[in-house]
């Protein structure tokens, strides 16, 4: 999920900073350019951590800055298909819940939460079962599996991650604890 990777990219140093083309300056410029951006190959760039090499600068016609190719380390978040992750419910809507997993949110569709029917309770920002009184609301911790991933590099906010919690070992942490306690009680009774 989180990875430390070595990357190479070009950064523009504006004219006012040309006397200060240091690794620290280039790092700040790379952070401004890349952090929060989504890339199909490496995922979401969380942080540029260290600049290793700065190439020779290149001047482009009709551009005021000088362009430098830099070799650097970055921390990225790259959710993998079928990966099991823990997250937090950040929003509940009629069709499901948005789960914060790292720096991105994934959609847990209501049909992928439970075999029970879950009704939307907009007043309390939760999905509620009428059968077992279980609820899923904002702030709840949940374990899910990534089942779909569509990365939009130009508009990272439009990237989509689909989640499921309909398998043994997945679901709201409180529900998983209840199930564990039931199993332990059954084993003690045998």
Q: What is the tens place of the pLDDT at every residue in 136-182? A: 999 999 999 999 988 776 666 677 899 999 999 999 999 999 989 98
CATH architecture of 2-77: 2-Layer Sandwich (3.30)
Q: Candidates 2.40.50.140, 3.40.1160.10, 2.40.340.10, 3.20.20.140; correct CATH number of 83-189?
A: 2.40.50.140
Alpha carbon separation from 118 to 90, 105, 162 (Å, rounded): 18, 21, 18
pLDDT of residue 156: 61
* Spans of all domains in the chain: 2-77, 83-189
pLDDT band at 56 (very low <50, low <70, confident <90, very high): very high
Q: What share of the chain has pLDDT > 70, as a percent?
A: 96
Average pLDDT over residues 104-123: 92
List the single range of 26-40, 46-60, 62-76 with lowest mean pLDDT.
26-40
For strands 96-101 and 38-39, give the pairing: unpaired
């Amino acid at each position: 999920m989180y990875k430390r990777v070595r990357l190479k990219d070009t950064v523009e140093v504006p004219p006012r900073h040309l006397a200060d083309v240091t690794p620290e300056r280039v790092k700040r410029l790379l952070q401004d350019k890349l952090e929060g951006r989504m890339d199909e190959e490496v995922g979401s760039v969380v942080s540029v951590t260290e600049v290793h090499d700065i190439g020779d600068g290149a001047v482009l016609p009709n551009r005021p800055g000088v362009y430098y190719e830099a070799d650097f380390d970055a921390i990225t978040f790259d959710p993998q298909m079928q990966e099991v992750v823990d997250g937090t419910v950040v929003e509940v809507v009629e069709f499901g819940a948005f789960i914060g997993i790292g720096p991105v949110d994934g959609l847990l569709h209501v049909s992928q939460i439970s075999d029970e029917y879950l009704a939307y309770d907009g007043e309390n920002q939760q999905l509620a079962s009428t059968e077992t009184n279980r609820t899923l609301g904002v702030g709840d911790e949940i374990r899910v599996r990534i089942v779909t991933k569509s990365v939009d590099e130009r508009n990272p906010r439009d990237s989509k991650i689909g989640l499921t919690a309909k398998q043994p070992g997945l679901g709201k942490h409180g529900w998983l604890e209840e199930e564990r306690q039931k199993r332990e009680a059954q084993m003690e009774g045998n």
